[in-house]
Every structure is written in C-alpha cells, then in structure tokens.
Structure 1
C-alpha cells in the first residue's frame, strides 16, 4: 500500500506547463492607425524634399544669374578698358597738339611765326647762321670752346648771328608738311620754348641763357632728357642775371607760352634751304663754314680763320 502511495510534497509536485511566448492579440484599430501615421510621415517627407529641391533650384538659378552678370560686367570692363587704351593711344601728345595751336612769337623776332631770330648790330654787313639742337653734346662742346669768340664778334659788330634751332634729338620729324613728335624725349622742344621765353625778355638774355644751357655745369648727356623738366630750366635761368627771379620768364616756361613757337622753329630747321641736317652747323652767304675735318670748326683759332675768310669773300 505504501508503495502505491503518491507523495504530495510540494517539491515533487509537477508544475503546470506554461508557454514561453504567449500570443498577444493586437486590436485592429491600433494597426490601422499605425499604417495611416506611416503614410502621412512618408508624404510629409516627400513634401519637405520637394520644397528643398525647389529652394535649391532657386538658389542655383540666382547663382547662375550672378555669374552671368559678373561675366557680362567683366567683358564690358575689358572692352571698356581696351576702348580707353585705344583712345589714349590715338590721342595726340601735348607737342603734337601745340603744333596746330596759334603761335605766340616772342619779342625780338621776325619772319613767319617769329622764327627768324637775329642778334647783333644792324650795322653788321653779314650774318652768320648757326644751327643747333639744345640737347646736342657737340653743340655744347662748340659753345664752350668757340662761344666766347662768337659773343665778342657780335659785340664788335663783326657780323650778326641768326639762330635756327632743331629738335631732332627728341626724334622729331616732319612728314607731308606736318610736325611729328619723336619718341626720344621732349627736352629739346622744352628748352627751345624756354629760349623763346628768354628771347622775349631781351636778345642779351637769350644769348646768356643759351650759353648757360650749353655750359659744362648744366648741359646733360644726350641720353639724359633733363631739359624736359621746367624746374631744371628755371634753375639754369637763375644763373642769368636778367632771368633770375623773373616772374614773367618763369610763368612763360611753366605755362608753355612758347611751346608752339618751339615746334615752329623746329619745322624751320627741318625745312632749311642750306642743306643742313646736323648740328652744330655754320652758314654764311649760303655756304657752310667747316674746318679741316669737314665739320663746324671746334676751336676758336680755326673758327676765326674760317669766318674771316667768309667775311672777305
């Protein structure tokens, strides 16, 4: 009997069988709502994406418009710059412009445009023509060695002196009767204009200023276009008593009163009838006066002999 007795001790009782994953039933209305929320989210996301694309498209369009506008401005600026450069390149220089201006002739001159400059006593029977370029280094050497003799001869009434000034060392030429400014500077023209201002003061001031221009102290090398500087010319003029502190002279130099006259004088040189093409050159009675080497005499002794022979001819 005992062997068939079933023990009811709790430790030996079999526990009821329980499922590890019990199935839970989800209400139908919750499932349907979840689907609707998911679709709405997708729709909203698509709408946001569409709006963002539209905004980006607008930004890209504006950017393209800015680029195109800048490109147009750049092209116009370049075209404008080229146009300005062309205009400036074709614009006449100051000296080309004054060539067409009315000539203001200095006092103590005669002839067309006042380009006949003769200094000396009216009683002198003959005239010595001297052709010079203000920047000419050989002219400077001539003036420094022979110049004092010329001044004495003029003072003594031995002959009159006619000055013809050229500006070919500036590179100036004449084409078809029209003055063409050169590319080698403007010192010869500017110094010529200053000589006109000195001549307007007096013939003596002209001669003294010319002597100062060609002096060893003031005359620059041919490659140094120092005479283009008005202040330098005025500084030289201050060494001449008649021009020192002379407001009228200074004003004429700074304003270029005789610039057109300087160009007219240059054209007189270019169109001379004496066959002169270089400087210094001396002519009396239509004949060139030369030394043993065929050029202008460069010593006082040789100059005296050549001139005396011409005066007796």
Structure 2
C-alpha cells in the first residue's frame, strides 16, 4: 500500500470514529434530557396530586355542604321548619311523641313489637303521634350516612302523603329491611328506592325517586336532626305521652306497652 493510500485510510478511519463519537454524544445528551424531562413530569404529577388532595381536604363534605342548601319542607310536615311529623287527627286529646334514629336497632325492635299497637290507637283516636327523627348514630358510629340519608328519603315519602310516610317508615324498620347498626345500607339511594317498592304509593313513583336521588330533603333532614338534638334527646327510642316519658318502650311486649299507655292516660 502506498503511503498516500495509507494516510487516506487513517484519515477516513479517524473521521468515521469522530462522527461515531459525535452521534454517541448526541444520543447521550438526548438520553439525559429525556431523563431530566421525565423527572420534571413526575415531579409535576406528584405536585398536582398533592394540590388536588389539598383542595379535596379543604372542600366541605357532602353533608356539610348540604347545610347551606335551601330548606325544602315536605308537604304534610308540621312545626317550625317542618321538624315534626303528625300522624292521626290533629284534634286528638292526647299526643304520643316519638323520637327515633333510623339506624337504631332498638327503634326497629320497638316498631316491630309495638308499631301495630300504636297504629291501632291512632286510628281509634286514642292519641295522635308526632315523630321527630334524629341522625346522631352516623356520628356516634363514626361511619356512614344512613341516618341522614334515610331521613331525607322519609321526607320524600312524606311529601307524597302522610300514609306513604307511615308505610315507608314501617318498611325501613321491618326485619326484612333494617340493617345491622354498623351496616350503612341506608346510605345508598339505590337501596332506599328499592325498599320503597314495597309501598304502593311509592312504587315506581318518579317524583319520589328523583327527590331521593337529588337530595331534595337533605337540608330538611339536617334541620330535623338539629331539632332532635335541641330537644335534649339522649337515647332512642324516646317515647312521651303528653310530655311524660314511657320508660324502656323497646323492652316491652305490645301488651305491656298498651298497658303503660292506659296507665298513663288514667292518671
């Protein structure tokens, strides 16, 4: 090989090597840039996630926000802000005042045992009944929204009619439907609408279902629960005949409850 050819070959080899090194340097630079860019994107994603979490933490809960909603009182409610539900004749000489929480198992026991007795007495005109419902178990149990949500649905039933309220109230406290205290089945609108199918006036009732889904009576439920608290009720069921408490009604048989009513009326 001539010296010229040898020198040309070496020069060409050096050029190819230089070009390859430049390409590799560009690839390395691009790789570093992509790594840095990826790190920036990841950091931004983390920061965005934190920001969203902070916003959510600072947002009021659904029921906290419901306090600011417009109060819509169900038709057939009575008392200040509609916080009393009167069943029976307004002219009855006596009133049985009943305080309950819809998640309360003792209320369910009381209604299952003495509910028909009370209904018969109301029909006979012995007394009328005034319900004020609470929602303290949602907070006491530290989970769920069933007390408030079911009370709102009861408001939707009351808006249909007092009879629809009575029938739906009975269904919600029935053995077939009433959940364990720690199970928040009443927190589901779907469940509440399903249970309402047992009530003829509410079955496939589009207006009732819309009110449940829209939370039309959520503010009313909270207002009712606040009235319950203001009345100083510390346990459920609390039952008062003309202002005098009937002790431990949930522990009585239907006959014992009726006897306690008669004894109170005889005083």
Structure 1 length-normalised TM: 0.77
Give the RMSD, CA atoms, in angstroms. Answer: 2.2
Asked whether 1:204 is paired with 2:158, we answer no
Structure 2: tracts of 5 or more residues without a match: none
User: What is the CA distance between 1:45 and its match in structure 2?
Assistant: 2.5
Change (3 A) 1:37 1:235: closer
Structure 1: tracts of 5 or more residues without a match: 1-32, 173-181
Asked whether 1:264 is paired with 2:223, we answer yes
Q: Which of 1 and 2 has higher RCO (CA within 8 Å, sep 6+)?
A: 2
Distance 2:84 2:263 in 1: 25
User: What is the CA distance between 1:116 and its match in structure 2?
Assistant: 1.9
User: What is the CA distance between 1:67 and its match in structure 2?
Assistant: 0.8
Alignment match of 2:31 (pick from 59, 63, 77)? 63
- Correspondence 1:51-130 to 2 at 5 A: 51-130=19-98
Aligned partner of 2:260 in structure 1 is 306
Alignment match of 1:230 (pick from 189, 203, 213)? 189
User: What is the CA distance between 1:296 and its match in structure 2?
Assistant: 4.7
Alignment match of 2:247 (pick from 287, 290, 308)? 290
Confirm or deny: 8 A CA contact 1:134 1:165 kept in the other structure. yes
Question: Could you give the per-residue CA deviations for residues 237-268 of structure 1, whole angstroms, max 9, x where no partner exists?
Answer: 22223323333222222322212211221222
Aligned partner of 2:173 in structure 1 is 214
Question: Could you give the per-residue CA deviations for residues 142-178 of structure 1, whole angstroms, max 9, x where no partner exists?
Answer: 1111111111111122222111111222226xxxxxx
Aligned partner of 1:164 in structure 2 is 132
Aligned partner of 1:50 in structure 2 is 18
Please identify which structure carries the higher helix content.
2
Structure 2 length-normalised TM: 0.90
User: What is the CA distance between 1:197 and its match in structure 2?
Assistant: 1.2
- Correspondence 1:239-278 to 2 at 5 A: 239-272=198-231, 275-278=232-235
